[in-house]
Structure 1
């Protein structure tokens, strides 16, 4: 079952964020607090949204966390998938079900893009995405400012 996240899901979402960071070999970078995740998803002005994958017994087995973006070229919003995670000991099509729900939301709301990033070494995920019809945007390179560089530019 795929459902919208609720405030009660914050501890499980945080646990899965940390599990994902471990998988992506960057556990030290997963620093979000329960308060931050709660505010982002359920605060006065939510900046992100989440869906939960549950097994038949009610166990939380995965999540998708996303936010809206905007294309100046198409003139419409899109959906950016920040994190998609299904616990490794769980099969059963939960990842596809989560992506299908996000694609359904795109269609329902008139969003023309569903985008995300994947680490270039993550061959299982790349194969999974390509099997769904997703294609890499190889002509683009992601840039990021953080830490001192961000502070310096902003001052």
Structure 2
């Protein structure tokens, strides 16, 4: 079995979307995925301008079986960018093989090489296996912080006076 981590390419978009759908199933939200191949292409590989979302894929024997989808964050306290990991997912048959750790290590390396001071993400409170995995790597939960989200009608109501 040959594992390989690399930056995502436009040819990976179908596999990325497949894995996002698997993740939604795992997170008990199978109907929540609205993303399309076109929406991934336009943000990750735009025809004009710079990408706003980035990705790395994990391959086993040439098949994409893991993803790390991320974007830049910014800390006013450190005055530097960081990486916000939107999704880390490894298909169930490949869990425990080191692929998830390799994906995170790749992002940590990007942070170190570019002078970014943080690699951050959220994890569902009920996802005990992932929480244990992240803690085993030295991740520290930010329990005193609560993620907030404006979406749907609330976003529209606030954004359009």
Q: Same fold (TM over 0.5)?
A: yes
Task: Work out whether 1:118 is the aligned partner of 2:123.
Answer: yes
Residue deviations 1:79-100 (CA, integer Å, cap 9, x gap): 0000000000113100000000
Cα separation, 2, equivalents of 1:80 and 1:118: 12
Cα separation, 1, equivalents of 2:31 and 2:148: 20
- Quote the residue 2:5 is aligned against: 2
Q: Which runs of 5+ in 2 are unaligned?
A: none
Task: Work out whether 1:77 is the aligned partner of 2:77.
Answer: no
- How many residues get paired? 154
Q: How far did residue 17 of structure 1 move?
A: 0.3
Cα separation, 2, equivalents of 1:149 and 1:86: 33
Equivalent residue runs for 1:48-127 within 5 Å: 48-55=53-60, 57-91=61-95, 92-127=97-132
Cα separation, 2, equivalents of 1:85 and 1:24: 11
Superposed CA RMSD:
0.6
Runs of 4+ in 1 over 6 A off after TM superposition: none
Q: TM-score, normalised by structure 2?
A: 0.94
Q: Which runs of 5+ in 1 are unaligned?
A: none
Cα separation, 1, equivalents of 2:159 and 2:66: 37
Secondary structure of the 2:148 match is coil
Q: TM-score, normalised by structure 1?
A: 0.98
